[in-house]
Structures are given as structure tokens and as C-alpha cells.
Amino acid sequence: MDTNFTHTLHEQTPTTVHNNYCIYEPIVPEIRAIRVLTIDSLVGAEDQYSEVARSAPDFNAAKWCKLERKIAGMALANIESNIERLVVNPTIKRVHFTELNEQLTKDFNAEAIILSGTLRDFDFYEPHLFARLNEFLRTTSIPILGICGGHQMVGQAFGANVITLDEKLPSERRSNRQIEYQYRFVTITDEHDPIFVRLLGHPGYERQHKNAKVMRVWQNHGLQLDRLPAGFKHLARGYLAEQQMMVRRTAEQLIYGVQFHIEKSFQDWNLDSYWNHRVESRDGRLIFENFLIEALRFLGKSDAEIFATDEEASAKVKRLASGAQDEESEGLNQSGW
């Protein structure tokens, strides 16, 4: 398969659809269309907690599940906003990981699957839920991207174990864990993988890192994979977690896993301006977009089929701009101004 990036990037004045997006370069929807299943990887109902979870001193099924549902809503919204703003005509269907099966992917005609992050330790889930998921992950031919906990889900399906950052079993250190909750530098170990295309330069912005193999990405985790799963290739390592990024690329499967969060670019930071994700998350955003492109290429699409024309992209930008203005006007109305 030819992985050369032949598409000509849009070169235009660095303006954005919304002033909360990256201020250094234009964010233009490059991809014409894609059908994506976004997967809610968190506990979905009170009866999905295991006996191990129920024995925890602070276990409260209703309280725990309410928090999981709140976090799931935010996580999936971030993932879906990336798809919506990077693709001219996306089709998105959100499902819980317990619903994921081959018939669902066929009925939806899925072209990509994105697994969200998680909250609880995996032994707090009912074991049979993972048994079904693991079989699906090992056999599906739909391209997959696992983010943070989704990356760990992929890893354990292929034989790796999930451990704490100081290499303990989760059951050995339920509390007082070392965590990464900040932007960290991650080192690329295979810069030739197409998932990294365009990270080294873009119209209106050039990387300033002295080491071109370094990315800056948002970390929010206290667990990691203990090793590279069988059949995967190592793509990036981090300060505390060695398995920061990986890929399984065979004739039958394309699966990427990223321990860090690549979906922050389009969150509305008018609500929380402390973390300046709109600028810092640039590397993650390009990885996200490159995955969508690679998924379509894996399924046999040509560049002419994958990439939007200038006219299609411009029309989408106008729609997004109109929507942003409507949201701002609605916010003013609700505030009483």
C-alpha cells in the first residue's frame, strides 16, 4: 500500500473558524467523508461493576456510575468534535463498548472505530464484558484508534497487562498513584510511520523543537501497558510510560493505540481557559487527522476519494463559522446581555 502523502495542503491566511482553536495555523477540514463509530469505553450501568469493585471500601454503584456517565459524555464529545471539524461530511454513531460487534459495524458500514478513555481499573468491570470486546478487537478488519484507556483496552486484548506507572498491579495500588496530568514531551521511535506525516511542518507554522522526533502531548493517566503487545510496532515512548504509541498493521488489520489524549483541540476553553489546549494540542490533532486518513487508505480509498476539494472545504468552514456565531449569540442571550 502506498503511504506517501500526495495531497496538497490548503495554503491560506492563518485564520480559524473559532478563535478558541489554534492561533498559529489554519484548521481546514481536509477529509471529504468518513463513517466513524465512537466507542464509550466507561462503565455504562450499575450492573457492569465486578465483585472486585463491589468490595472496594468506597463503592457506591449509583454514585460511581453517575460520574462515569458524566465523564463519558465529555470524552466522547471531544472525540466527535474532532471528527466534525476535520471532515467535511462525517457520519458518527456513538455506542457503548458492550454493543460493539461485527454485525453493528456492517449495518453502519463503519470505516473507523475510536475507543475513548476509561476511568476505573479494568478488574472493576464485569470480566465477561472484556471477553466479548477482546474477541472483537482481535478479529475486526475495521481500522481502530484507542485513546488512553482505549489504548490499554487494545493492549490487554493482545496479551499485554495494565499496570501502574511504578509497575504495580492496579490491585496493589488503588490509591496514591503516581499520575501524569500535564503536557509532556514524547519521543517518536519510528518517524517513518504515516501517522506522523505533517507533524514536522505546516503552512504558517514550523516546529521549533531542536529534536524533530519530539511531540508535546496531553497526558492524563495513572496506568500503562507493561509491554508492547504481540504483533504491534512501537511508535513512541514517554517519560514514565514506555508504551506511549503503537500500531498493528497487517493485511487484515490497522490498529493504533495512543496513551496520551489527542482529542483536546476543539474543546471550548471559554469555559476553562487555564489549560491552553487550543495551541498545545496541535501535534495530537494532526495525529488524529492522520489516523482518519490512514483508515480510509487502509480500506482502499484513493487520495481523490479521501480529500475534499477547496470548494467543499470552504463550504464546511462557512457552516462551522455560522454555527460558532449562533452559539456565541445564544450564550449572550442566556447571560442577559
Q: Which residues contact 177 (CB under 8 A, 6 or more apart)?
A: 164, 165, 166, 222
Instruction: Tell me if 26 is assigned to some domain.
Output: no
pLDDT digits (tens, 9 = 90+) for 119-158: 999 999 999 999 999 999 999 999 999 999 999 999 999 9
Note down the domain range covering 184. Answer: 31-306
Domain membership of residue 69 (yes or no) is yes
Look at residue 5 and tell me if it is in a domain. Answer: no
Residue 13 lies in a domain: no
Cα–Cα dist 43/331, whole Å: 32
Average pLDDT over residues 73-85: 93
Q: Are residues 330 and 235 in the same domain?
A: no
Q: How many domains does the chain have?
A: 2
Residue spans of beta strands (DSSP E) within 53-190: 87-96, 112-115, 144-147, 162-164, 180-188
Residues 193 and 283 in one domain: yes
Confidence of residue 20 (pLDDT cuts 50, 70, 90): very low
Q: Are residues 195 and 279 in the same domain?
A: yes
Q: In terms of domains, do 272 and 333 share one?
A: no
Could you give the count of Cα atoms lying within 13 Å of 157 in the half-sphere of its Cβ?
25
Does the pLDDT value for residue 179 go beyond 80? yes
- The answer to whether the pTM exceeds 0.85 is yes
Question: Do residue 226 and residue 337 come from a single domain?
Answer: no
Please tell me the distance from the alpha carbon of residue 283 to that of residue 216, in angstroms, as a whole number. Answer: 7
**Residue 291 resides in a domain:** yes
What's the number of CA atoms in the CB half-sphere (13 Å) around residue 273?
A: 3
- Looking at the structure, tell me whether residues 98 and 247 fall in a common domain: yes
Angle, helices 282-298 vs 61-86, to 10°: value is: 80
Whether 68 and 202 share a structural domain: yes
Question: Is the domain of 164 the same as that of 130?
Answer: yes
Question: Given pLDDT bands bounded at 50, 70 and 90, which one contains residue 216?
Answer: confident
Most confidently modeled range among 3-12, 173-182, 269-278: 173-182
- 120 and 209 fall within a common domain: yes
Mean pLDDT of 311-325: 82
Residue 320: pLDDT band (50, 70, 90) is confident
Q: What is the pLDDT of residue 5?
A: 34
DSSP-derived letter for residue 101 is -
Residues 212 and 331 in one domain: no
Q: Do 288 and 144 belong together in one domain?
A: yes
The enclosing domain of 35 has a CATH number of 3.40.50.880
What distances in angstroms separate CA 205 from CA 58, 62, 283, one per listed residue? Answer: 49, 48, 12
